[in-house]
Amino acid sequence: MESKAKILGHPTHPILIVFPLGLLASSVGFDVAYQITGNAEFETVAFWTISAGVPCGLVAAVFGAIDWLAIPQHTRAKAIGLWHAGGNVAVLLLFTASGWLRSQVSSYVAPAAALTLSCFGVAIGFLSGWLGGELVDRLGVGVDDGANLNASNSLSGRPATEHQAHTEGRLRRA
């Protein structure tokens, strides 16, 4: 099932999810760095990566919703997509709460509750990311119809199946 929202021939949602994934997950890395070093600048960076990661996640969610709405009803993909979306909403809510708790202290040093929320957010993010992989790799959501190892460039304007048909014809003649 091809993606309904594309940038330069590629699905938009997987292009955008790298930003919230990287920002939100790295905030926990900065929390760990603070715990090891005691350097409060790591907590400031963690706060700002959360502050950037949540809005990026909201933007990615819009394009994920566009693709999810195009999945046919009563399919496994529709159900998995709903769990994937729900998990990602939970991640964004957990990190929003973590960011808010951090904003309540002058140094952005995360209270224990904020650290806990962020860790749960990362754990749910791993599960939700796996579900996203299931959608693409197992169920073919967001994959061009006729995708193959010799498909033409996405910028060519030609369907993915065009080169495959040409190659198969050449193989049959051989």
Q: How many Å separate Cα 158 from the centre of its chain?
A: 28
Higher pLDDT, 2 or 169: 2
DSSP result, the chain? ---SSEETTEEHHHHHTHHHHHHHHHHHHHHHHHHHH--THHHHHHHHHHHHHHHHHHHHHHHHHHHHHHSPTTSHHHHHHHHHHHHHHHHHHHHHHHHHHHHTSTT-PPPHHHHHHHHHHHHHHHHHHHHHHIIIIIT-TTPPTT--TTPPPGGG-S-HHHHHHHHHHHHHH-
Structure confidence by residue, pLDDT tens digits, 133-162:
999 999 989 888 888 888 888 888 788 777
The reported pLDDT for the residue numbered 65 is 96
Structure confidence by residue, pLDDT tens digits, 8-67:
888 899 999 999 999 999 999 999 999 999 999 999 999 999 999 999 999 999 999 999
For the cut 80, the answer to whether the pLDDT of residue 80 exceeds it is: yes
Structure confidence by residue, pLDDT tens digits, 99-141:
999 999 988 899 999 999 999 999 999 999 999 999 999 998 9
The reported pLDDT for the residue numbered 142 is 86
